[in-house]
Amino acid sequence: MSNAPAPSSPSAPLKLFNSLTRQLEEFQPVHPGEARVYSCGPTVYNYPHIGNMRAYVFADILGRTLSFKGYKLTHVINITDVGHLTDDADEGEDKMEKMARAEARSIWDIAQHYTQAYWEDIKALNIRQPARWTIATEYVPQMIAFAEKIADKHCYELDSGLYFDVSTVADYGRLARAQTEDGEGRIEAVEGKRNAADFAIWRKTPPGEKRQMEWDSPWGKGAPGWHLECSVMSGEVLGFPFDIHTGGIDHREIHHPNEIAQNQAFCCAGGLDLPANSGARVWMHNNFLVERSGKMSKSSGEFLRLQLLMDKGYHPLAYRMMCLQAHYRSELEFSWEGLGAALTRLKRMYKVVAVQMWKQFEETGQPVDPTNAYLPIPVDKWNAADKTGVLKDFSDALSDDLNTPKCLPLIEEVLGDKMIDNALRWHLLATMDQVLGLDLLRRNRTDLRIRPKSVEITEAEIEATLEARKAARAEKDFARSDTLRDELAAKGVEVMDGDPLGWEWKLA
Ligand code: AMP
Ligand code: ZN
């Protein structure tokens, strides 16, 4: 193992907040020049809500930053299609079984449907594909092998399953900063557990029952525990120890401490004073997106999923922008006003790009093809290419534990700086947008225009009305022109005289 420095870059070294030590730490890859990252994926029993998607926007920014800084990234996200109970701490039913019953469909159907829906949200939010999606049910033999390896020393069998004895590893719960006995009474429901925090790594199918998903094992027919899945998939694909493990802050309390305990047992390693003993050197957690009215709950009728935002006329990238405006470790409160403001900010950026490109076209007579003509500037060329020094500031902001709120004004600075030569402007934006993924040079402002579901009028009808209005104005019939504008307004369309875009949906 080597503590290789980050690939040469003129900016500050990358520092990330490690939940294990509760400190900012300079990133030191396990394998020189590489970064191996595992993110806890969704349990695919329902649509993801936008809070869940915040976790993947965060993981995406982390991955893009590592690539930007020159590391060869291997990112893995899992799909949990078995084993996650309704209570993270070993109680309740399997979420997938429960949903399958409620919808009278097979679990495999449910898993396929909601995995697809999740992948659509990933795409809509411009989240890069990881190197691997690992599907839990495809790793069951490896899970059994892992459990067999640790069973003798660290587990005991009860009627309901194979349990992990948390007293057999050093420092159990350090990640959560758990006061060992405190607050864990709620986990004691399983009779015979040695410690309140012990958890099932294999859940046996009760006698006389048949589960839709079950496998043979040395402990009888049953299914793996959710914590076991992530230990196995991360270790299998990335190798222990790997660099960074991510998840939402709720995972810091139970899921990740349990993964860490299993990893310690599997690697035969001691306590957590050596962070590598936990399986990953760095554990990172995004804070929650919160919504006060309860619409984030998947059990509420109209819960906050990305499709709902689109139905109301908000482009998914407005939500990405909203996430980037907050630091990932801060709680982010959702509001429609906040989302509207994020959309407006993004539209402004797109508009300045369009205006500047139009000017360039007028000056040169050459159509501007920003995507292909203006590539990101490689790290080793920053000093020579970037006279403004903005890339160093941008990279420093990312080095400061992925401070995206500090990055956004730098983009605006580049957009607004009249002294920068246009070609350099596009190269700078291409470089920064590699990380932020706002598609600044790839899309037009019209792409952000999504028809709200409640609006009946079609875009063709709007264009026709605008033509009629233009004719009325040419004839100086301003009364008719105003009437047509009011008619459009009543149908949710705002006419913006003087704006090259011409019209916008009025969002509620
Ligand atoms: P789940 O499908 O419940 O396993 O959750 C998928 C991911 O979303 C996990 O990393 C969770 O920690 C994360 N998560 C859940 N709720 C929120 C929220 N409100 N805000 C941000 N992340 C969340
Ligand atoms: Zn996990």
Residues in the 5 Å CB sphere of ion ligand 2? 40, 230
Looking from the CA of 284 toward its CB, the CA atoms found within 13 Å total 29
CA pair distance 437, 145, nearest whole angstrom: 40
CA nearest to 257, candidates 88, 140, 95: 88
Structural tokens at position 267: 């690697």
Ligand nearest, relative to CA of residue 304 = 1
Spatial contact of 316 and 70, defined as CB atoms under 8 Å apart: no
User: Is 42 close to ligand 1, i.e. is its CB under 6 Å away?
Assistant: yes
Phi, psi of 13 (to 5 degrees): -65, 150
CA pair distance 390, 413, nearest whole angstrom: 9
Spatial contact of 357 and 368, defined as CB atoms under 8 Å apart: yes
User: Is 285 close to ligand 1, i.e. is its CB under 6 Å away?
Assistant: no
CA pair distance 361, 241, nearest whole angstrom: 52
Beta bridge partners of 203: 161, 223
Ligand 1 centroid distance, CA of 56 (Å):
9
CA pair distance 121, 50, nearest whole angstrom: 9
3-class secondary structure, 348: helix
Beta bridge partners of 244: 37, 282
What's the chain's Rg over C-alpha atoms? Answer: 26
Ligand 1 atom closest to 247 (CA): 10
- pLDDT average per 10 residues of sequence, the chain (508 residues): 50 94 97 97 94 98 96 97 71 78 87 96 98 97 98 97 96 81 51 94 91 92 94 98 98 96 94 90 97 75 89 97 98 96 96 89 84 83 89 96 98 94 92 97 92 93 96 97 96 89 87
Beta bridge partners of 504: 494
3-class secondary structure, 243: strand
pLDDT of 477 reads: 97
pLDDT of 1 reads: 38
For ligand 1, atom 23: residue with the closest CA: 52
Ligand 1 centroid distance, CA of 55 (Å):
6
Structural tokens at position 118: 């999740």
CA pair distance 442, 438, nearest whole angstrom: 9
pLDDT of 358 reads: 87
Ligand 1 centroid distance, CA of 269 (Å):
29
Instruction: Evaluate if pTM is beyond 0.75.
Output: yes
Name the residue of 38, 44, 50, 52 to mutate for ligand 1: max ligand atoms within 8 A of Cβ: 52
pLDDT of 180 reads: 47
DSSP H/E element including 406 = helix 404-416
Find the largest Cα–Cα distance for the chain: 90
CA pair distance 482, 292, nearest whole angstrom: 40
Residue 21 Cα distances to 272, 281, 357, angstroms: 9, 10, 48
The beta strand positions in 80-158, using DSSP E, are 85-87, 91-94, 132-135, 155-158
Residue 223 Cα distances to 87, 162, 202, 424, angstroms: 16, 11, 6, 56
Ligand nearest, relative to CA of residue 245 = 2
Structural tokens at position 473: 């104005």
Spatial contact of 286 and 58, defined as CB atoms under 8 Å apart: yes
CA pair distance 318, 423, nearest whole angstrom: 27
For ligand 1, atom 19: residue with the closest CA: 51
Spatial contact of 472 and 480, defined as CB atoms under 8 Å apart: yes
Residue 447 Cα distances to 99, 350, 451, 463, angstroms: 36, 10, 11, 16
- Secondary structure of 136-186 in HEC code, one letter for each residue: HHHHHHHHHHHHHHHHHHHEEEECCEEEECHHHCCCCCCCCCCCCCCCCHH
